[in-house]
Amino acid sequence: MPSMISSLQRTSVLFSLMILIVAAGTLHGAPPLKKAELLVELPEYCNTPDGMCLMPDGNIIVAVPNVNDESQPPVLMKVTPDNRAELFYRCPPHPDTGRAYPFGVCVDEKGDLYYADLQWFADPENPNYKSRVMRIPMKDGKPGKAYPVASGMVVANAIIVRDGLLYVSDTTMMPDSKPLTSGVYRIKLQDECVELKRPLEKSPYLIATIQTHNPDVPFGADGLTFDSKGNLYIGNFADGTLHKVEFDAQGNPKPAVVFAKEDYMKSCDGIICDTKTDRIYVADSLANAVQIVFPDGTVQTLAQEPESDGRNGRLDQPSEPVLRGNEVIISNMDFPVPGGLNTKFEMPNCLSKITLD
């Protein structure tokens, strides 16, 4: 009899543990599917890699504002198809602040490059409304001289081009609003040298607004991507929510709605949609993770790590994903933000890769 009781007790304990494990999985998400590996270690003059885009020739352009150490110049780097990191472009300084801050970067249908010059970093305590979008004309794979196509934003961050239209997120559009209101502008590429006027929330170029409720991190609308149906998705950095904007037959936007939210998706920084599957890959900067958002809005963790120094391609505050074949390429910004797993900046900075099945 004692042995039978003991056996029943062990069975009961094991059953209880199984319930706890299932509950934990429900609360915190299933275990990560993959481990990140090293793609390339960036040179010493690259201390804060952020936005990326894949060029038609297979090169990846990486925006490096170098806000961790501003003694290094802001640059765009090129990662070749065989994973060599090369200097691509030195970003010209803003005439008023004397500094450039390249963040989001994209390519248009003709192959020209655009990058967001996030001038908020010139004086974070006093928004200067000098953020802008720069265009780099490309010819035979070589960059020409950059010039502004839009300016007057608070925090110009992510950018994307679709059907001759430029979309720009302003992560802190209304700096003193509570909850924080941020938004996305849409500008025709043919309308160059656009100067956005204040109040920005009344701008005719504004097509979407979202609110952020995190009291500790004043960053809202961030990453941008489109699915195969032409719907726009906006990452809400500090709230960790993914928002969706649909358009009517005339291209007019409908109000942004929350499309995906999970307790374990702590932030929604850069995003990219695989239009073959309509899965969206999210750089979860605060959780040191990469998440997958499926077409039905469910979320699964693709890769995640505790705080690391980023060596050997380990995740180190991922900020942007880009797709190259069956690989998700990740930039690790390594710029500590309140509430994030990453608490300190260390060199070197690396790009990671996650190989998909």
Domain ranges of the chain: 32-355
pLDDT in tens, 274-324: 999 999 999 999 999 999 999 999 999 999 999 888 888 899 999 999 999
Q: What is the pLDDT of residue 341?
A: 84
**Which of 21-25, 165-169, 194-198 is least confident?**
21-25
Q: What is the pLDDT of residue 343?
A: 85
**Which of 53-57, 158-162, 339-343 is least confident?**
339-343
- pLDDT-derived band at 29 (thresholds 50, 70, 90) equals low
pLDDT in tens, 181-203: 999 999 999 997 999 999 999 99
CA dihedral for 41, 275, 357, 260, sign (positive or negative):
positive
Region of 285 (left: φ > 0; alpha: ψ -120 to 50; beta: rest) is: alpha
**Which of 36-40, 81-85, 339-343 is least confident?**
339-343
Q: What is the pLDDT of residue 338?
A: 86
pLDDT in tens, 138-147: 999 999 999 9
CA–CA distances in Å: residue 170 to residues 181, 235, 354: 10, 11, 29
Q: Please state the pTM of the whole predicted model.
A: 0.91
In Å, how far from its chain's centre is CA 228? 19
What average pLDDT does range 216-241 have in this prediction?
97
Q: What is the pLDDT of residue 28?
A: 52
CATH architecture group of domain 32-355: 6 Propeller (2.120)
Residue with tokens 């035979």: 140
Q: What is the pLDDT of residue 243?
A: 98
- Given a cut of 70, is residue 266 above it in pLDDT? yes
Q: What percent of the chain has pLDDT over 90?
A: 82
Work out the mean pLDDT of the chain and round it to a whole number.
91
